[in-house]
Every structure is written in C-alpha cells, then in structure tokens.
Amino acid sequence: MVTDAADMDAYLSEPRDLFHGDALCVVRPEDAGEVARVLALCNELGVGIVPQGGNTGLVGGQTPDMSGRQIVLSLQRLDRVREVDPSSDAMTLEAGVTLARAQEIAQSVDRYFPLSLASEGSCTIGGNLATNAGGVHVLAYGAARDLVFGLEVALADGRILSTLGKLRKDNTGYNLTQLFVGSEGTLGVITAATLKLFPRPRSRAVAFLGLDDPAKALALLNFMKGHAGPGLHAFELIPRVGLELVLRHIPGARDPLLSPHPWYALLEIAGFAEGEAERTAALSLAQALEAGLAHDATIAQSLDQAESLWRLRESLSEAQKREGGSIKHDVSVPIERIPAFIAEAGARIAAAFPQARPVPFGHMGDGNLHYNVSQPVGADKAAFLARWDEMNEIVHGLVHDYGGSISAEHGIGRLKRNLLARVKDPVALDLMRALKKTLDPRGVLNPGKLI
Amino acid sequence: MVTDAADMDAYLSEPRDLFHGDALCVVRPEDAGEVARVLALCNELGVGIVPQGGNTGLVGGQTPDMSGRQIVLSLQRLDRVREVDPSSDAMTLEAGVTLARAQEIAQSVDRYFPLSLASEGSCTIGGNLATNAGGVHVLAYGAARDLVFGLEVALADGRILSTLGKLRKDNTGYNLTQLFVGSEGTLGVITAATLKLFPRPRSRAVAFLGLDDPAKALALLNFMKGHAGPGLHAFELIPRVGLELVLRHIPGARDPLLSPHPWYALLEIAGFAEGEAERTAALSLAQALEAGLAHDATIAQSLDQAESLWRLRESLSEAQKREGGSIKHDVSVPIERIPAFIAEAGARIAAAFPQARPVPFGHMGDGNLHYNVSQPVGADKAAFLARWDEMNEIVHGLVHDYGGSISAEHGIGRLKRNLLARVKDPVALDLMRALKKTLDPRGVLNPGKLI
C-alpha cells in the first residue's frame, strides 16, 4: 500500500496531466485473491475503487476524482504468465503484463499476438481489455474484444468469476466475458485473461500511396480487400497537411514520394507462404495504379524502410502537438461514409473556425478517424483550445448524423461521460444502468466513469 | 395467429421429433413492433413465450413445453432485407431471413458471409445468433457471435433495443449485443441484425489426407496454420470407422484415397490472389507428406471433386443414423488435448460399452468434436439408446476434466439444462441468473430453457 504523497503522485495523474485527482491510498495487490479482498472490503465500506493498469488511457478512466476518498487499485504486480499453449493458440496472462511483453511471449513460441498500439511498452493487458483497445491491426484481427477466450474477474462483492479457458467454441450460457471487456472497470476488475494467438506472418509488405481524395482511398481500400483478403493488415489514411506537419517537426522524416499528393494511404499486407506478401503487394498495387486509384506508390524494400513509412503515420499526433494547439476527436463512421464525412466536417469547421486546420487521419480500414484539428497558423493556442467543446459539438453532432461513434477506440472514461448520456439510445443507456446496478449495487467500481 | 391444431403442429415439434410440446397458439408477427407488443402483453399476463426461427435447433430450445400454456413466437415473417452496404462490409437483415439467403445476398454484391452449416437452407439469422451457431468455417471467421455488428432486440417489457449499425469500432459503453447472442431467447427476442461481410475468396483448394492418428492430425493442423494463416478455412477430422459407415450407407460415396488409413483430415484453403489457394495447398501438402505428417493426400481438381470430398464429411451423421442407434455429444476441448481426449474417451467407453463404436469427428481446427458413439454391430438399438445418460456421463465427465465444454456449438436448450447447473462455475451461474432476473424479471422469455 502506498500512502506517501510523493510516491502516490505517479498514480494520481496521467502522463499528459489532463486528468488528475486525489486518493486515500494506492493499493498494489499481488494476486487475484488480494484484489478480491480489497474489493470486498471497499464494497462493505462504500469506498470507491479506481482500477489502474499502465496508466496510459486517454479519457481519464484510470485516475481518481478530486475528493480524496477513492482508492487507486494498481494491477501492475499481477504480472505472471500463467500458461502459454501454442498448440491451442492460447496464452493466459495476468492483468499487469504489458502489451509489449505479451507480444514477445507470443513471438517466443512462434505465434503472433496482433494487438498493437502506440503505448504498448507500458499499457497492460488488463487495461487493454477493460477499455477494448483498438490500434493498427483491427482491420484484420479485430479489437481487444476479439482477441480473448476468457477472463478472470474480481467482482464488486469480492467473489472471483473465471471464464478462463482455451475453447474456441463454448455455447454454455450467456457470454459473461464480453460483458466485462470494454466496461472500463465499472462492472468488475479483470485480474487475468486467456488471449488468442495467431500464426506468425512470414512475409510482410508495407506500401505508401499518393491519392487524389478520400473517395479514391475508399475505392483503393475495397480493391485491396478483394485482392489481399484477410492479408490486408492495415489501411491508414493520411492527409497532405498531416504529412507536412510530420516533415516539418519530426527529425529524420522525409517524403517517400517524389511529388506531393493531396492524400496518402499507408498499407500493410501480410503473407504466410514465402514471398506471398511482396507478390500480392506488387501485383495489386500495379493494378491499382493502372486503374487510376492511386497516382504514385512506393513499397518498402527493407525492414528499415517499412519502419520509416510507419513512423510517418505514428508521428502525426506528436507533429500536431509541436505545431501548437489541436482539438481531438476519436470517432468512427460506416466506412462507406468516410469521404462524405470528411468533406462535410471540413466545411462546417471552416465556417465556425476560419483558418483552423483539420488533419483527419487514422484507421480508415476500420472506419476510425482521429479527427484532430490544428489551430490556425499564428493564432493564440489558449484561445483556440478554449473553444474545445464548441468544436466537439460540431464534430460529434455530425458523427451522430452519420450513424457513427463518438468514441471509436479510446473509451468514455471521465472525458465523454456526459456526452454519452446525450448520444446513446435511451433503451441502451437504461440497460447499461440496470447491468451496473446488478453487478455493482453499491457503486464502488470506478465511480463517475463511463456511466 | 395460428390456433388450429393441425396448422400448429409444425411449430410444436422439431424435425427429429425428439422434442415436442403444446401451446396456447402460434403467433407470427410481421415486424419488430408487433413482436414487441406480443412481448409486452405476455409480460403483463405472465405467459411464457418460445421464440422460434427455422425450427432446426438440436437441443429443444425452440419448442414449447407440454403445459399448453406457452405461446410460440415465430419470427419467419420478419424476412426483410433492410440494407446491404458492400463498401462498409455490412448488411442488415431481419431475423427470419434464412442463412442460405443471407449467403446469397452477400454473394450478389461480391462479398462473402462465412457462416455455413448443414441446416442453412431453413435455419434463420435470428436463430443463428440466438444460439451462436458454429459450423465449418469457425476456424477462419469465428462463430455467429463474431459475425455481427449489432442487433435489434425486443425486450421482455416490450421496449425495443437497437445496437444496429455498421461500426467496426465503437467504445461507448457495455457490449449489449454480445449479451443477447447465444442467450437462446431467454433475455430478449432478436428481430434484426447487422452482419459482417467479407471479401470473397477467389480461389479455393480442398484436400483429403490419410493420417496415422490424432496426434499427427494436430501436428498437421499446426503446420497448415503456419503455412496458410487465415487462409486455412476448415480442418475437419474423420476416423476410418466413420468413413467406412459413409461408404456403406451413402449412395455414390467412394474412398478418395487408394488404400485405407486409420484417420483422415479434410481441409480447405482459400486464397484471394489468382491461384493462391491451389499454390499454397500444393506446396504445403507436399512438405507435409515429406515430413511424414500424412501418408497420402488428394487435392480436388474440380468443384465437383471438392463437393464430393465435403459430402463425405457432411454425411457422417446420416451414415451413423442408418447404421443404427448412436449416442451424441457436441463437445470441445483445448485443441492441444484432442489426441489425449480421444484416446481416453475411447478406453473408458470400451470398458463400459464393449463393442460400441465411437466415431469422433468434427471441427478439429476449433477443438470441436461431434463425439458420437454407434451401437455395437447387431445389438438392440433401443437397449443401447436407453443407456444415453450413462454414456453422456462418461464423455461429459471427461470433457470437464479436460477443461472442455459440454456444448460446443449446439447450445443448452432443454437437453442440457440440468447438466449446465452441474458443470458451470457457480459464480458464473449466479451471474447468469442475476442477468436473467434483470432482463426478464417475470420469467416469460423461453421459460425452462438454458437457465
């Protein structure tokens, strides 16, 4: 147990310090039994518990409120590997194992664990599942939700539920596992998970293409899905304005194509037979160029080149940060509507925020855009950021009109809790509240988050 | 509404007539609104409702009890196609659309809907989702649960919940969709679903291999997963005793290999580039033969040949039926334990049922065996079938010891309800009961089924 103020600090705010709070103490249990005992006690006393993994969440789900009356429950010491079974394509890890370590464990038995995101060095499996983390390979493998066989969960009353197991098929009752995935610690505390392993791709091709507009990107996406099938591992959209920010602010970044294009697609193809990815990429991209879906394309000729291309994409947030203030949205719309959404959102923002610079980029293959708007050149950063809610209103309103989601992959947490009540179907909200009451009648699990 | 006894008959028993019942009436609403009104009324009056799709379930979930006081709610008239959007890889269908029609709709827009099972001509999307149907392509695409974006569900109190939508990523609250999938009509009545579409494979290879034993089958499965990745669409295990029954009873069936082998694997590989499946199959099978994983192999050279190979596998149940009595188990164990499970189950059955003939076949790639035991040659069928429970006890006990499931894909229904209470984790059972009470406090939804 940590009660010293200085030692507690690291648990009370998140790295960007957008969310912070106070707490009675930080508890660091060693195993699921200890987690369950903490829960039972807090439930009896009516003390709010804030579960925390790697503390990398972006919506404030993992930090306590300002009351100083909640406790932070760190899962970091639950970091044992319980079992790795490559023949059943399964591994059972405790909640505090980091995502990067989970990937390494898979690799050590010649398997692949596809979840991959920017914070993978510090985020944990428990947090990934509690927030249903997304990342760059959702297109081919789904989100965290799709990568789990079963869970061990400490319930509010101190009982431990286990759906752990390595079964691909088990039709014996309600799916309790999926109830906890994405519930942001409000229904139970995940203490361990059996995760799915996949065959390791033996070949990989990464390509960067210059395009006219998002409509061409959509056509290219459909074309590539048809030609690479489940081998299409990633399809990311990048606007020229975003690439320019990267070229300006990120040391070592260079434009991979000879001349500029209004839009870009970064795509990755995986293959299992020798040379399959390269063959598929070369053939299909030649056809795509011939069909006018793209104007120029480069295929990475080495691992280094592949990593450079990916770095362009992954540096977008950092480059926007260095350029000044940016107002962020993590949204999704049906894939087919992305071009119309980008056009209409751009027009509305131009009307309300003249000179502001939308940089719509992200996982186009999943319909997920990080629709981040950079401040006008030379404008006052604070004044721009002060209009955060107004900008959100415009973008989220449009997302709603397009049948989209205001939180594609980052979750609700504290940031979007009030918003949720406005956009969610009332029957769904009502059911969510009923489930919360059933599983956490005293309301001690991550109070004030999500619901 | 159907009340005439003769007209009602078709809804009161299922095709095998293992389960039948009586009912106040059969209602056949036309749309979700009518379904909801029926539910509201029954909820008020405390009348039990038995939802029914294509009436093809194997565990009695879709037939009423003998009291004559329940009503059957047929979803067959809800058969509209609400939307097909190939660019977003999504289609929204009403619950009564048959699976075969759903497959055709996907094909008509150059997409693939991978759910495929023996009863696809008459089973419905609503029933597939309510029971989380499996089938032959779970290995590559998952079960029905994995093929749905969202649902429209009529709740016990007559409200309609909609999570319909075409979003691959939506982290805004608890996953209500997955709560209803596999709940066998006990938490709500599915009236429509948005289903996932996939790129259509452009090449396909079907192969039939002769093997020494299940351990070799496991090694071959792992080998093929490594070489075909997600292109491995099916991997089915067949014992020689099963093939012999098919050759004896199914007209036109012939042994595809020159000499007999103790075990067989049927596998299907799909590809997206031209000729990819054939190339992968030829190369990897040559290597597998060289490595001694299989003794002989044939690859179908035409669509006709591919269908003949599949027919051998799909005729196993029918052949067992013609051979006499057979006692069935739909079980799964972790894939890695299949060889040991088959050996131990065989030994135990030999001890208790001398001369009985286990025919363990099925979806080895998913860890799912249809462990069906044929009666001894010349024995009395009725006397053998009278020992059904005793046989179940042996097999299900062993499944439990192996960390497996007593219902891999067929569900619980009436058949296994009492069994469930014995094998399920008590905390899980308790949570299931709490969810049932939250969503159906008066217990009107499919009473006496599952829980």
- Domain-embedded: residue A92: yes
Contacts of A367 in chain B (CB under 8 A): 88, 166-169
* A111 and A192, same domain (yes or no): yes
For residue B360, the one-letter residue type is: P
Is B183's CB within 8 Å of A174's CB? yes
pTM, to two decimals: 0.96
Quote the pLDDT of residue B118.
Answer: 86
Average pLDDT score over residue span A318-337: 95
The pLDDT confidence band at residue A232, using thresholds 50, 70 and 90, is: very high
Spell out which residues of chain A touch residue B367, defining contact as CB-CB under 8 Å.
Answer: 88, 166-169
Could you tell me the CA-to-CA distances from B397 to A187, A284, A290, B383 in Å, in that order? 32, 52, 61, 22
pLDDT at B15 (0 to 100): 80
Asked if residue B236 is part of any domain, the answer here is: yes
Strand ranges for B155-217 from DSSP E: 160-162, 189-196, 198-199, 203-211
Shortest CB distance from A273 goes to which of B174, B283, B450? Answer: B283
Chain A residue at shortest CA distance from B165? A403
Closest partner CB to A169 (pick from B138, B198, B425): B138
Spatial separation of the C-alpha atoms in residues A248 and A251, rounded to whole Å: 8
Does the residue A236 lie in any domain? yes
Which among B169, B179, B280 is the nearest to A179, CB-wise?
Answer: B179
Nearest-CA distance from B4 to chain A in Å? 34
CB-CB contact of B13 with B19 (8 Å) = yes
Measured between CA atoms, the residue of chain A closest to residue B437 is A438
Answer whether residue A431 is part of any domain: no
Q: CA B71, B73, B74 angle in degrees (round to 5)?
A: 140
pLDDT score at A1: 83
How distant is the Cα of A134 from the closest Cα of chain B, in angstroms? 8
Give the residue from A298, A314, A139 showing the smallest Cα distance to A234. Answer: A139
Q: Do the Cβ atoms of B165 and A273 come within 8 Å? A: no
Query: In the listed set B54, B74, B94, which residue is the last one of a domain according to the structure?
Result: B74
Residues of chain A positioned with their CB less than 8 A from the CB of B201: 229
Q: Which member of A167, A182, A406 has the closest CB to residue B334? A: A167
3-state percent breakdown (helix, strand, coil) of chain A, nearest 5? 40, 20, 40
B343/chain A closest Cα distance in angstroms: 18
Residue A204 three-state SS: strand
Neighbours of B397 (CB within 10 A): 15
Q: A286 and A356 share a domain?
A: no
Compare all CA atoms of chain B with the CA of A182 and give the residue at the minimum distance. Answer: B174
Cβ–Cβ below 8 Å for B431 and A176: yes
What is the pLDDT, as a whole number, of residue A327? 96
Residues B367, B174, B73, B81: what is their CA dihedral angle, to the nearest 10 degrees?
-90
User: A215 to chain B: nearest residue by CA?
Assistant: B87
pLDDT at A56 over 80: yes
Residues belonging to chain A: 451
Shared domain for A380 and A352, answered yes or no, is yes
- In degrees, rounded to 5, the angle at the alpha carbon of residue B425 between the alpha carbons of residues B422 and B426 is 80
Residues B39 and B122 in one domain: no
In this structure, the answer to whether residues A102 and A137 fall within a common structural domain is yes
Nearest residue in A to B231, CA atom: A230
Most B CBs within 10 A among A168, A371, A422, A451, hence the mutation to make, goes to A168
A56, A74, A92: which is the final residue of a domain? A74
**Residue found by looking up tokens 């000179």 in the block:** A355
The shortest CB-CB distance from A179 to any of B175, B405, B450 is to B175
The band of A273, judged by pLDDT with boundaries at 50, 70 and 90, is: confident
For helices A214-228 and A338-352, what crossing angle results, to 10°? 160
Structural domain includes residue A60: yes
The verdict on a CB contact (< 8 Å) between A405 and B276 is no
Position A185 scores a pLDDT of 98
Contact flag A173-B276 (C-beta cutoff 8 Å): no
Structural domain span for residue A154: 81-199
Q: Give the distance from residue A425's alpha carbon to the nearest chain B alpha carbon, in angstroms.
A: 8
Instruction: Please give the C-alpha separations between residue A315 and each of A374, B176, B210, B402, in angstroms, as whole numbers.
Output: 15, 35, 52, 47
Residue of A nearest to B279 (CA): A273
Domain count, chain B: 4
- Cβ atoms of A184 and A411 within 8 Å: the answer is yes
The alpha-carbon gap from B205 to the nearest alpha carbon of chain A, in Å, equals 15
Band (pLDDT 50/70/90 cuts) for residue A422 is confident
Q: How far apart are CA A172 and CA B374, in angstroms?
A: 25
- Measured in whole angstroms, the distance separating CA A232 from the mean position of its chain's CA atoms is 19
CB–CB of B412 and A231 under 8 A? no
Q: Enumerate residues 6+ apart whose C-beta is below 8 A from A241.
A: A357, A358, A359, A374
Helix axes A276-290, A214-228, angle to 10 degrees: 140
Weakest-pLDDT range from A174-183, A417-426, B431-440: A417-426
Those residues with Cβ within 8 angstroms of residue A85's Cβ, 6 or more apart along the chain or in another chain: A91, A166, B334, B336
Which runs of E-coded beta strand occur in A155-262?
Answer: 160-162, 189-196, 198-199, 203-211, 232-239
Residue with tokens 């003949």: B308
Cα–Cα distance measured from residue B118 to residue B410, given in angstroms and rounded to the nearest whole number: 12
pLDDT over 80 at A16, yes or no: no
Which of B340, B318, B320 is closest to B241 using CA atoms? B320
Residue A15 has pLDDT above 90, yes or no: no
**Per-position pLDDT tens, chain B of length 451:** 888 888 899 999 988 778 889 999 999 999 999 999 999 999 999 999 999 999 999 999 999 999 999 999 999 999 999 999 999 999 999 999 999 999 999 999 999 999 999 899 999 999 999 999 998 899 999 999 999 999 999 999 999 999 999 999 999 999 999 999 999 999 999 999 999 999 999 999 999 999 999 999 999 999 999 999 999 999 999 999 999 999 999 999 999 999 999 999 999 999 988 888 999 999 999 999 999 999 999 999 999 999 999 999 999 999 999 999 999 999 999 999 999 999 999 999 999 999 999 999 999 999 999 999 999 999 999 999 999 999 999 999 999 999 999 999 999 999 999 888 888 999 999 999 999 999 999 999 999 999 9
CB A5: neighbour CB atoms within 10 A? 9
User: What letter would DSSP give residue A120?
Assistant: T
* Residue A275 binned pLDDT confidence (cut-offs 50, 70, 90): confident
CB spacing of A231 vs B226 below 8 angstroms = no
Assess whether B258 and B337 both reside in one domain: no
Q: Average of pLDDT values for A147-163?
A: 98
Query: Do the domain assignments include residue B19?
Result: yes
> Is there a single domain that holds both residue B138 and residue B44?
no
- Please indicate, yes or no, if residue A420 is contained in any of the structural domains: no
Q: Which amino acid is at B149?
A: F
Spatial contact of B333 and B341, defined as CB atoms under 8 Å apart = yes
Residues B367 and B339 in one domain: yes
Q: Tokens 């809907």 label which residue? A: B113
Tell me which of B74, B96, B119 is where a domain ends: B74
Of B174, B279, B411, the CB nearest to A183: B174
Residues B88 and B149 in one domain: yes
B50 is a domain residue = yes
| Cα angle for residues A9, A11, A13 (degrees, 5° grid) | 75
CATH of residue B255's domain is 3.30.70.2190
Q: How far is B326 from chain A (nearest CA, A)?
A: 22
CATH of the domain at A91: 3.30.465.10
- Put residue A112 in one of left, alpha, beta given phi > 0 → left and psi -120 to 50 → alpha: beta
State how far the Cα of A440 lies from the Cα of A43, in Å rounded to an integer: 9
Per-residue confidence (pLDDT) for residue B5, from 0 to 100: 85
Q: How confident is the model at residue A360 (pLDDT cuts 50, 70, 90)?
A: very high
Which contiguous run of DSSP H or E holds residue B265?
strand B263-271
Instruction: Determine the length of chain B.
Output: 451
Q: State the pLDDT at residue A324.
A: 95
Which of A83, A129, A174, A341 is the best mutation test for B, with the most CBs of B within 10 A? A174
Q: Across the interface, which of A134, A176, A199 has its CB nearest the CB of B226?
A: A199
User: Are A118 and A192 part of one and the same domain?
Assistant: yes
Mutate to test the interface with B, among A88, A166, A169, A280 (most CBs of B within 10 A): A169
Token representation of residue B250:
């199914």
Point out the residue among A178, A226, A335 whose CB comes nearest to the CB of B272.
A226
Residue A74, strand partner residues: A52
CATH number for position B346: 3.30.70.2740
C-alpha triplet A367, A369, A370: angle, nearest 5°? 160
Q: Is residue B335 domain-shared with residue B363, that is, in the same domain? A: yes
Which residues in chain B have Cβ-Cβ distances shorter than 8 Å to A138?
168-169
For B63-114, where are the alpha helices, taking DSSP H only?
99-108
* Cβ neighbour number for residue A388 with a 10 Å cutoff: 13
User: Which residue in the set B131, B155, B170 is minimally distant from A405, CB to CB?
Assistant: B170
Pair (B88, B170) in one structural domain: yes
Contact A365, A308 (CB under 8 A): no
> Of all helices (H) and strands (E), which one includes residue A440?
none
Q: Which residue has the tokens 């997302």?
A: A399
* Per-residue pLDDT, A14: 87
| Residue B185: other Cβ atoms inside 10 A | 26
Lowest mean pLDDT among A6-10, A274-278, B13-17: B13-17
Q: To the nearest whole angstrom, how far is the Cα of A163 from the nearest Cα of chain B? A: 8
d(CA B317, CA A409): 44
For residue A188, the distance in angstroms to the closest alpha carbon of chain B comes to: 12
Contact between B412 and B164 (Cβ < 8 Å): no
The 10 Å Cβ neighbour count of residue B339 is 16
- The tokens of A419 are what? 């918003």
Q: Which residues of B touch A226 (CB under 8 A)?
A: 110, 199-200, 202, 272
| B202 interaction partners in chain A (CB closer than 8 Å) | 226
Q: pLDDT (tens digit, 9 = 90+) per residue, A186-219?
A: 999 999 999 999 999 999 999 999 999 999 999 9
CB pairs under 8 A between A and B: 295
Which of these, B178, B140, B369, B159, lies nearest to A89 by C-alpha position?
Answer: B140
Question: Which chain B residues contact residue A162 at CB under 8 A?
Answer: 425, 427-428
* pLDDT of res. A96: 98
In the numeric block, the tokens 């990067």 are attached to A100
Chain A hits for B182, CB-CB cut-off 8 Å, are: 171, 173-175
Nearest to A363 by CA among A58, A16, A113, A118: A118
Each residue of B13-41: b (16+ CB within 10 Å) or e? bbeeeebebbbbebbbbeebebbbebbbe
CB contact under 8 A, B427 and A228: no
Q: Please report the pLDDT score of residue B338 as a whole number.
A: 97
